[in-house]
Structure 1
């Protein structure tokens, strides 16, 4: 089994936190988004992963440190890491075809801006499984249309009239991803464009038209990391899941002086807490110092210094210095507020 991860986007909706760090590498509950996503998919598949192919953007932004991190992720699963570049932002189908050399055999394609919790058996008799989640407002999503046999017969983008309430979450299994490659090659060769881009859906629709069997795989939880507010919410939800799983979330190397931790919280190594209450639902990266503060429902990255703060629904980047009384804030890397 292979996992194909298109992640060439700059994550503009999550700025300023993605000005120096690609969105898939922004930590949530102590681990980069893409690391959590790939690890959770591997658990769902419950079989050896032979290769993880990552599709990156501009090397000036997705540099050597990103490549090292991704290779470590793949190797941790016992898999080969393949690195590809999408030179231009020409759509989801174009991104997948940037990894053309890896598009053979059974594979999962997963876009690295979402997290899941799921437990189910993969239907390997189908030509493809599209992961979906039941939603309250399907008109805001791309949804699947099913026939009487619960097979997917159509993909409908933001339907104005009810089609179904099963939203496509951006994770797909293909029994032979080489079939998708052939159809996407047709899309590229014949300049089939929707929304100004080459889309994975156009390749999938061609597969459907040739009688390929598509079924749904439903997830229990679908968590977005598209902007600051939903990323903070996803951090909260993920901490709750990890606590239930019995994971140890607080490093033994933290230093506390008149400090109180209200779980669940993730606190990395060498964090200093002084005259501070942290939690619930807070993640703090390594080496961060927090003094004379109250922090809840927030995400703070590494090597920052926070003083005299009362934070709720906050997201603070790396190497930040913050001293003040603001509450709902969003501060990127290397910012100073004193």
Structure 2
């Protein structure tokens, strides 16, 4: 179907826009495409979420021009093309949107896959690591497990479950240890939230991956793992689709972290000064605490402590593919009292 004109017009960006503008547009308009036009309204190309992520992995940043990631050979249709043919084009090209252009290639509309807003029912497990002691969050965690700490009036673990449910996940496994009985008493079997919840009960702390050694999945489907203290707008289903599309054994969501050096850097060669760099910015990818794994990864775990980076190293040592899923969505690791305050103060402004 064709979405209302006023909506697709909001997805238009000028050709001199930046990647940061494109990310903001993708988040705000929420139709998973940006339409880039020149000064005459002629469609120069399109930008998808995948185009943005590939650009970030290639070293581009928010200030890079959209022309560095634009898809210039986008599939387009004339306004007279019928709905059935449009749907066939979408299916054949595995796309969810097709711009409508006139005979001068000016954008005049957009066709949207009719089921794009209806998430599929995903049989994949959603595993949430909720066994940590939350030492840095004391005194808040002295009598309450960290995942039960309230954010905007309800436990952050409940936010994660509700967001996952909205994307089609219905079967959850919670790994619990510290004050785990409180988590189990609060969520029970999941009936109150309309989902199924099972538990992995750690007798001793097993790390961010070790508890997965207790998991006994009933299928060969890949599953998603997230830390129970990560509040984010990441699309868990899109992470899973990315994992499957790349044929990976392990996928790690990563974020670009910028560190501003507080001093001017002097570049030397021996005793010779060869250059200067005033307060440079270092960019690196950090682990965001959200993953997709194939069940084969469980064969590399036993009932022992293991962190997720170690599991990924084990996968690599077996020549199994591990990939990075670059994310730009709002994200917060609630590890300190200041983070908890920030999560509560900014929750309604982005992270939900």
TM range (shorter): 0.5 to 0.7
Say whether the 8 Å CA contact 1:134–1:167 is kept in structure 2: yes
* DSSP 3-state at the match of 1:165: strand
The 3 A distance-change label for structure 1 pair 75 and 163 is farther
Q: Deviations over 1:8-35 (max 9, x none)?
A: 1121111111111111001111120111
Q: 2:301 aligns with which of 156, 176, 184?
A: 184
Match of 2:342 in 1: 233
Say whether the 8 Å CA contact 1:103–1:181 is kept in structure 2: no
The 3 A distance-change label for structure 1 pair 41 and 76 is same
Shift of residue 163, structure 1, vs aligned partner: 9.4
Unaligned runs of 5+ in 1: 140-161, 192-196, 246-338
Q: 1:11 aligns with which of 122, 134, 139?
A: 134
Q: Which whole-Å CA distance do the structure 1 matches of 2:164 and 2:226 have between them?
A: 9
Q: Deviations over 1:235-271 (max 9, x none)?
A: 11112237xx9xxxxxxxxxxxxxxxxxxxxxxxxxx
Q: Which whole-Å CA distance do the structure 2 matches of 1:66 and 1:90 have between them?
A: 18
Q: Which whole-Å CA distance do the structure 2 matches of 1:40 and 1:138 have between them?
A: 33
Shift of residue 67, structure 1, vs aligned partner: 1.0
* DSSP 3-state at the match of 2:180: coil
Say whether the 8 Å CA contact 1:117–1:219 is kept in structure 2: no
The 3 A distance-change label for structure 1 pair 208 and 113 is same
Q: Deviations over 1:25-57 (max 9, x none)?
A: 0111112011112322444xx33x242111111
Q: Which whole-Å CA distance do the structure 2 matches of 1:105 and 1:125 have between them?
A: 13
Q: 1:66 aligns with which of 171, 183, 190?
A: 183
Match of 1:254 in 2: none
Q: 1:220 aligns with which of 318, 325, 329?
A: 329
Mapping of residues 1-338 of structure 1, within 5 Å = 1-43=124-166, 46-47=167-168, 49-58=169-178, 61-63=179-181, 65-71=182-188, 74-75=190-191, 78-100=194-216, 104-119=220-235, 121=238, 122-123=241-242, 124-126=244-246, 127=248, 128-137=250-259, 165-174=284-293, 176=294, 178-185=295-302, 197-209=305-317, 210-241=319-350
Q: Deviations over 1:68-103 (max 9, x none)?
A: 32236x445643211121111232232222334578
What is the TM-score when the length of structure 1 is the normalising length? 0.53
Q: Which whole-Å CA distance do the structure 1 matches of 2:322 and 2:133 have between them?
A: 34
Match of 1:290 in 2: none
Say whether the 8 Å CA contact 2:131–2:175 is kept in structure 1: yes
The 3 A distance-change label for structure 1 pair 135 and 108 is same
Match of 1:304 in 2: none
Q: Which has the higher strand share?
A: 1
Say whether the 8 Å CA contact 1:93–1:203 is kept in structure 2: yes
RMSD: 2.9
| Number of equivalent positions | 203
Say whether the 8 Å CA contact 1:5–1:110 is kept in structure 2: yes
Q: Which has the higher helix share?
A: 2
Say whether the 8 Å CA contact 2:200–2:211 is kept in structure 1: no
Name the larger-Rg structure: 2
Unaligned runs of 5+ in 2: 1-123, 262-280
Q: Deviations over 1:276-322 (max 9, x none)?
A: xxxxxxxxxxxxxxxxxxxxxxxxxxxxxxxxxxxxxxxxxxxxxxx
Say whether the 8 Å CA contact 1:6–1:111 is kept in structure 2: yes
